[in-house]
Amino acid sequence: MRNTYIDTNPAVTYYLDKKRFGHDVQLAEQTSQDASRKTQEGHQCEDQPTKFITEPSLEQKFRQYLAAFDGKKKDFSEVEHVFDALFHEEFSDTINVHHQAISRERIKTLHTKYFAMGTKATLVHYRIVGFNTVDVSYNLFNDQEEVITRQLFTRQNGRVVRAQKISYLRVALNADDVCDGKQFVRFNEIENSSSAYLKARWKSNAYREMAGLIISL
């Protein structure tokens, strides 16, 4: 039987192991380094704050739309995306006294005219008065007329689905009424009383929302 000689010299053993297994050792070290680097990158990603994209609130959308009335004449196509973000597809505006429902398309036509006239808008107030009800008042004015409106908005899925008009004051210069080179101012006003407000709030479901909350408690 042939005897196998094993050299126990550490230097010789290291040399032989490196010669036989050096390539595998290098691969193992490289794999270990890659895993360590990925782990460090993962920790860096975890340290960075997560960014959440939130949809603008109804108030932000409303303020953005009013800001579009900046006094510059513009085509409605420039702001139509802002209009669509604010008003629901089934939106309607009701004039409380005469119970006249104005469709979304009619509102769009009216606002198209206002933008073409270079109308400017200012917000008077924005008040949340129910879970889905908002009390708003705003002023629109241009070279031909000034309108002050107060409405109750009913919101649905982050947009206005219905508007109940509480008060409306329109001051217009009538070009036909001229005397001694002076134009007369004409006023058109819709009811502005506590009964109109209470009626509009009831139709907007604000009181029924509050009653449902009290019953649930």
Q: What is the 3-state secondary structure (H, E, C) of 33-90?
A: HHHHHHHHHHHHHHHCCCCCCCCCCHHHHHHHHHHHCECCCCCHHHCHHHHHHHEEEE
Per-residue pLDDT at 180: 54
More confident site: 162 or 8 = 162
Token duo for residue 18: 């490196």
Question: Could you report the per-residue pLDDT of 57-89, keeping only the tens digit for each?
Answer: 999 999 999 999 999 999 999 999 999 999 999
Question: Could you report the per-residue pLDDT of 163-179, keeping only the tens digit for each?
Answer: 988 888 888 766 565 55
Query: CB burial class (10 A; 0-12, 13-18, 19+) of residue 105?
Result: exposed
More confident site: 55 or 17 = 55
103 pLDDT higher than 50: yes
CA 118 – CA 72 distance, rounded (Å)? 5
Token duo for residue 142: 């241009």
Question: Could you report the per-residue pLDDT of 106-152, keeping only the tens digit for each?
Answer: 999 999 999 999 999 999 999 999 889 999 999 999 988 999 999 99
112: phi then psi, degrees, rounded to nearest 5: -60, -40
26 pLDDT higher than 80: no
Pairing state of beta strands 159-179 and 87-95? parallel
More confident site: 198 or 27 = 198
Residue 178, Cβ neighbours under 10 Å: how many?
11
Query: CB burial class (10 A; 0-12, 13-18, 19+) of residue 165?
Result: buried
Query: Are 189 and 170 a contacting pair, CB within 8 Å?
Result: yes
Per-residue pLDDT at 129: 92
Per-residue pLDDT at 114: 96
Question: Could you report the per-residue pLDDT of 35-65, keeping only the tens digit for each?
Answer: 666 666 666 555 556 566 678 999 999 999 9
